[in-house]
């Protein structure tokens, strides 16, 4: 089982990062930076690699906070890179073309970011929230020793040290989901009978997209609405956040695909397996859902 976790931990997205044209002061335009971004990481953490690449081309004067956009959409820096990719690229684009800005931070749209510190506090806050949902309090996270905190963050920062991460995070006692899918022999055999599937989980959060009657919808899909779900590692607790407002009645909307860590798992898979292996380091499971929406007549 550790293998799946390792696979997730090492997952990365190839990025091709272009400097925004308004900020290019040299000829020829600097070539884009090619970076392999860890899925479980965050975009601002890549700035130390990106900035030197463009420093010659930047206009004089001190730069503002760095921010990224994809096709003009400013990217939320506190969402893991892999989740942004799964959510925004229904057809995975490799490399993923992003634009970087060193000026003009859209503070009316994006929450402020002061580099690594902001990302770290956002991460710890999410971890606290997950701990609260699972245990009813954040004590374990709040009482982490300073060295533990440093090492935990470092293991995430470099997405390298899974062992260190597992060691420290197990002290937080955030695992509550029993292994329903293995029998007592631990051989990984699926127990026959009822277990809670991924489909059950998604259905409990988005019941409106699971029609009871057989669908007679024959309209072709025109557009895709995307929802992002965060489900910490405890069944029954949900937190829904929509990145794109859905204006369509739920009647004719269907789920086109469900993507987690870049994988489209079979919906019959035991949810406990998904939770155990595909969660992010802050103990949230990010489920990206793409909807098929009928053409507006």
Partner 1 sequence: MGTKEEAQGTLSSTDFGVAASAFILNWNTICSSFPPWTWVLSHHQVEGYLSLENILLSSTQEEHGELSCPGPGKHSLQEDPIDVDDATLVHINPCKVHYYDLHIIYCNSYRVPVLYFRAYDSDGEPLEFDEIEKDLPAYSKKALSDSKWTFITQEEHPYLNRPWYKLHPCGTSEWMKLLFHADDALAKTGVAIELYLVAWLSVVGHVVGLRIPFEMMKQL
- 33, β-bridge pairs: 17
Site string for partner 1, 30-69 (x = CB under 8 A): ----------------------------------------
Binders in 222-241 for partner 1, by CB under 8 A: 237-239, 241
Q: How far apart are the C-alpha atoms of 297 and 295, rounded to whole Å?
A: 6
Which pairs from 43-49 meet CB under 8 Å and 24+ separation?
A: 43/68, 43/75, 43/77, 43/81, 43/84, 43/98, 44/77, 44/113, 44/115, 44/116, 44/118, 44/119, 45/116, 45/119, 45/157, 46/15, 47/115
Compare residues 108 and 220 and give the one whose CB is closer to partner 1.
108
CA proximity to 98, closest of 155, 61, 54, 158: 54
Is the Cβ of residue 110 or residue 190 nearer to partner 1 in the bound state? 110
Pairing of strands 96-101, 67-70: antiparallel
Among 28, 61, 112, 193, binds partner 1 (CB under 8 A): 112
* Residue choice 1, 34, 36, 109 for contact with partner 1 (CB under 8 A): 109
Q: Which is nearer to partner 1, 210 or 239 (CB)?
A: 239
Q: How far apart are CA 29 and CA 19, in angstroms?
A: 9
- Binders in 79-108 for partner 1, by CB under 8 A: 107-108
Q: Which stretch binds partner 1 (CB under 8 A): 1-9, 56-64, 129-137, 255-263?
A: 129-137
Q: Please name the residues in contact with 71: beta carbons below 8 A apart, sequence gap of 6 or more.
A: none
C-alpha span between 65 and 109 (Å, rounded): 14
Backbone angles phi and psi of 142, in degrees to 5 = -65, -30
Name the residue nearer to partner 1 (CB basis): 122 or 265.
122
7 binds partner 1 (CB under 8 A): no
Q: CB under 8 A: which stretch of 16-24, 31-39, 109-117, 157-165 binds partner 1?
A: 109-117
From the CB of 279, what's the least distance to partner 1, in Å?
16
Of residues 133 through 152, those in contact with partner 1 by CB under 8 A are 133, 136, 138
Nearer to partner 1 by C-beta: 183 or 242? 242
The contact mask relative to partner 1 for 151-180 (x = CB under 8 A, - = no) is ------------------------------
Q: Is residue 178 helix, strand or coil?
A: coil
The helix, strand and coil proportions of the chain, stated in percent and rounded to the nearest 5, come to 35, 20, 45
Nearest to partner 1 of 184, 241 (CB atom): 241
Q: Which residues contact partner 1 (rule: CB under 8 A)?
A: 76, 107-112, 121, 128-129, 132-133, 136, 138, 237-239, 241-242, 246
């Amino acid at each position: 089982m550790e293998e799946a976790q390792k696979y997730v931990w090492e997952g990365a997205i190839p990025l091709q990062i272009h400097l925004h044209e308004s900020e290019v002061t040299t000829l020829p335009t600097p070539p884009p930076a090619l970076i392999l971004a860890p899925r479980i990481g965050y975009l601002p953490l890549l700035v130390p690699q990106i900035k030197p690449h463009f420093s010659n081309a930047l206009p004089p004067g001190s730069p503002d906070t760095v921010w990224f956009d994809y096709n003009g959409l400013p990217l939320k820096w506190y969402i893991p890179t892999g989740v942004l990719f799964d959510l925004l690229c229904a057809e995975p684009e490799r490399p993923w073309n992003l634009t970087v800005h060193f000026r003009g931070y859209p503070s009316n749209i994006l929450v402020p970011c002061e580099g690594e510190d902001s990302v770290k506090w956002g991460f710890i806050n999410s971890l606290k929230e997950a701990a609260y949902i699972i245990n009813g309090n954040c004590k374990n996270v709040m009482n982490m020793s300073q060295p533990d905190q440093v090492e935990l963050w470092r293991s995430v920062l470099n997405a390298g040290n899974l062992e260190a991460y597992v060691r420290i995070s197990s002290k937080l006692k955030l695992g509550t989901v029993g292994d329903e899918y293995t029998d007592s022999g631990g051989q990984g055999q699926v127990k026959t009978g009822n277990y809670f599937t991924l489909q059950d989980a998604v259905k409990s959060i988005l019941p409106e997209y699971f029609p009871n009657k057989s669908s007679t919808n024959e309209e072709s899909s025109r557009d895709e609405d995307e929802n992002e779900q965060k489900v910490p590692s405890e069944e029954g607790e949900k937190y829904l956040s929509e990145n794109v407002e859905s204006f369509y009645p739920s009647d004719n909307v269907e789920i086109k695909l469900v993507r987690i860590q870049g994988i489209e798992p079979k919906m019959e898979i035991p949810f406990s397996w998904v939770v155990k292996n595909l969660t992010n380091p802050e103990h949230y499971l990010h489920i990206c859902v793409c909807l098929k929406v009928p053409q507006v007549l």
